[in-house]
Amino acid sequence: MDAQLRRLHLPYIQGHYQALATKAAEQQRSHLDYLEQLVEGDATMLENRSIERRIRNARFPVLKSLDDFQWSWPKKINRPQIQNLFRLAFIATRPTSS
């Protein structure tokens, strides 16, 4: 089975199917729950690799996250407002065009 999973490019499933099968049996989880966990793991791994590839291709000189944001500069910054904008809630509440 490992050869087929390798050929199908399913590395998460290949590396985790046995351990997750044992855990699913111990917890008496259904086959669908087991399969869902495997597929979700592979999808997450694929998404993470895609993000990493895009960041690498962007060739940013320095990688920064919102956790690295300097709240001490500028001196007059509305921190709660900025943190609320980081949540991107305004996207879901945008007005619809008629």
Q: What is the mean pLDDT of the chain?
A: 90
Helix 31-58 / helix 11-26 crossing angle, nearest 10 deg = 150
Integer Rg of the chain from CA: 21
CA dihedral sign of residues 19, 25, 29, 31: positive
- DSSP state, 46? H
Per residue in 8-24, pLDDT (tens digit) is 999 999 999 999 999 99
CB atoms within 10 A of CB 65: 6
Cβ-proximal residues to 71 (8 Å cutoff; 6+ apart), any chain: 77, 79
- Encoding tokens for residue 35? 């399969």
Please give the chain's pLDDT, 98 residues, in tens. 899 999 999 999 999 999 999 999 999 999 999 999 999 999 999 999 999 999 999 999 988 887 888 888 877 888 888 888 888 888 888 777 65
